[in-house]
Structure 1
Amino acid sequence: MFQTTNYSTDLSANYSLLSKQLDALLEGEKNVIANLSNAAALLNQFFDQINWVGFYLVEDGGLVLGPFQGLPACVRIQLGKGVCGTAAETQETIIVPDVHAFPGHIACDAASQSEIVVPIVKDSKLVGVLDIDSPVKERFSSEDAEGLEKFIEVLIKHI
């Protein structure tokens, strides 16, 4: 669900509007860090029941912390490790209803209970991942995955 009352109860329509807002927000800006920062802030503003949203970017064969909203986070994650590293390695979106049940979960924030990670692939090359954590179990759905994948498609045009 989204925080802002301007959104409807139609999750698909909300994601469509969110992607359009992202496109307008980033239009004309070429700085990757600025665009990822605004994308994280936009997601943080519109979601409820989340405690962290941000990006990990590919660097030196692993992931390094990028722009985010939330408490301080793990700085480096190896490919294949934790939810972010696994999503990066497989290049597939991962929804984790209960992070404590995910083998090898990396606990950066003890309050996190569920997580969704969406890989960012541009021109067939892994750029990084979008990571969103929630203090509520089973917070994320397949509709969230689909909506966030479309959000990433828009973001890729601006990074």
Structure 2
Amino acid sequence: MAEDLLILKGTKKEQYESLLPQIIGLLEGETDLIANLANISAALKEQFGWFWVGFYLVKVDELVLGPFQGPVACTRIRKGRGVCGSSWQQATTLVVPDVELFPGHIACSSLSRSEIVVPLMHNGTVVGVLDVDSSELDQFDETDKLYLEKIVSLINW
């Protein structure tokens, strides 16, 4: 597939429905994990214009920063710490409407106001997380949860 995205404006659902086959096309035939994570990050950032989009990968007992789009980020996160570490520990997607109200939130940037973190599963184990931050409060909802979970399920390990 060409490395150009067709950016669609419309409802959030319409945007995801347009983006999903394009991400499938980007991943098709590419076996390199880092390349695929980088392209997913870029596609999501380009389509939605969120503040930060990226991946953290489990390395021994920490999440370590992987491919991302946005300003510099925290490099390592312990299990159970912040939204990312909590998503890893609970093996569940966390939608946080206001990060200031999340106990133990890690403020990599004071501009981040809301967040969604989706665990990456492989053989029943969390191997990383997709982390998305917005500079707007209450940016993420069930639509984001549904489609971001679909997108991370496309990743080949």
Question: Does TM, scored on the shorter chain, surpass 0.5?
Answer: yes
1:74-100 CA distance string (max 9 Å, x none) = 000001000000001111100111100
Q: Which residue in the other structure is 2:39 paired with? A: 38
Q: In structure 2, what is the Cα distance between the partners aligned to 1:88 and 1:12?
A: 26
Q: Is the 8 A contact 2:7 2:47 kept in 1?
A: no
Q: Give, in angstroms, the shift of residue 18 of structure 1.
A: 1.7
Distance 1:34 1:104, change over 3 A: same
Q: Which residue in the other structure is 1:118 paired with? A: 118
Q: Which residue in the other structure is 2:16 paired with? A: 15
Report the AA paired with residue 16 of structure 2: Y
Is 1:142 the counterpart of 2:136 in the alignment? no
Distance 1:5 1:130, change over 3 A: closer
Report the AA paired with residue 139 of structure 1: Q
Secondary structure in 1 aligned to 2:63? strand
Q: In structure 2, what is the Cα distance between the partners aligned to 1:123 and 1:58?
A: 14
Q: In structure 1, what is the Cα distance between the partners aligned to 2:18 and 2:7?
A: 13
| C-alpha RMSD of the superposition | 1.4
Bigger RCO (CA 8 Å, 6+ sep): 1
Q: Which residue in the other structure is 1:69 paired with? A: 69
Q: In structure 2, what is the Cα distance between the partners aligned to 1:139 and 1:104?
A: 20
1:3-29 CA distance string (max 9 Å, x none) = x763432x3343233221111011111
Q: Which residue in the other structure is 2:25 paired with? A: 24
Secondary structure in 2 aligned to 1:33? helix
Q: In structure 1, what is the Cα distance between the partners aligned to 2:9 and 2:147?
A: 14
1:110-136 CA distance string (max 9 Å, x none) = 100000000000221211000000111
Q: Which residue in the other structure is 2:153 paired with? A: 153
- Structure 1, unmatched stretches of 5+, are none
Q: Is the 8 A contact 1:15 1:151 kept in 2?
A: no
Q: How many residues align?
A: 152
Aligned structure 1 segments of 4 or more residues deviating by more than 3 angstroms: none
- Structure 2, unmatched stretches of 5+, are 1-5
Identity of aligned residues (%): 48
Distance 1:140 1:146, change over 3 A: same
Secondary structure in 1 aligned to 2:64? strand
